[in-house]
Amino acid sequence: MANGIGLVPTENVSGSIVLFWGERKTGQKKRRDVCAFSYNSLGGKALKEHLDMRFKKGLLLAFCIVVPWLCLTANEKPTEVTLHGYIVDSACAFTKGLHKPISESCARQCAQAGSPLVVLSDAGDVYWPISEKMPAEGQNGKLMPFAGKRVTVTGRIYSRGGSKAIAIEKLE
């Protein structure tokens, strides 16, 4: 029985491909088998066509799996929710592991320095505020009066790759 399978070029035979290698027992002896075929013995064109066909079948299989998955996830509609939490700067939300802001002035200073403000929910989830308009607009201006404060936010939630965003409709 072969215990290894692969397509690798051999050093000793020009234009050869090892199709399998391994050890097998014949009677009391272990015997090492290597089966190599040159391009010429298989016909270089036939081998290339065989490998091309296997690649095309693999590509078709991947296409048949990925396309339906993309169609299903693309049709997901945003969920309308109401969240309770705090408006904090994104750097502190991630690097400090905060459950509430250090202070209102700290959140405002970071936002004024360019750090995006985010919604940190009571559950500990971070929601990036986004605009549904095209071209998109920054949300710090809308959130600045609430920086560092406890808020109730109503909007549509979007998720992608583990990130969460909210298109804010109501902020109080």
- DSSP E strands, 1-148: 4-9, 16-26, 29-38, 79-89, 117-121, 126-130
Of 119, 112, 102, 110, the residue nearest 155 (C-alpha):
119
H-run or E-run covering 41: helix 39-42
For 25-57, give one letter per residue: b (16+ CB within 10 A) or e.
eeeeeeeeeeebeeeeeeeeeebeeeeeeeeee
Of 135, 128, 114, the residue nearest 167 (C-alpha):
128
- CA–CA dist 113, 107 (Å, integer): 10
Neighbours of 101 (CB within 10 A): 23
| pLDDT of the residue at 101 | 85
Query: Residue 102 has which token pair?
Result: 């250090």
| pLDDT of the residue at 124 | 92
For 47-81, the DSSP string reads: HHHHHHHHHHHHHHHHHHHHHHHHHHHHTPPPEEE
Which residue type is seen at 124? G
Instruction: Give backbone dihedrals phi and psi of 107, rounded to 5 degrees, phi first.
Output: -65, -40
| pLDDT of the residue at 84 | 96
DSSP state, 145? G
- CA–CA dist 103, 18 (Å, integer): 68
pLDDT in tens, the chain (172 residues): 444 444 444 444 444 454 444 555 556 665 555 554 444 445 556 666 766 777 777 777 777 777 666 665 555 678 899 999 999 999 988 898 888 888 899 999 999 999 999 999 999 999 999 998 888 888 999 999 999 999 999 999 998 888 999 999 999 9
| pLDDT of the residue at 133 | 87
| pLDDT of the residue at 33 | 53
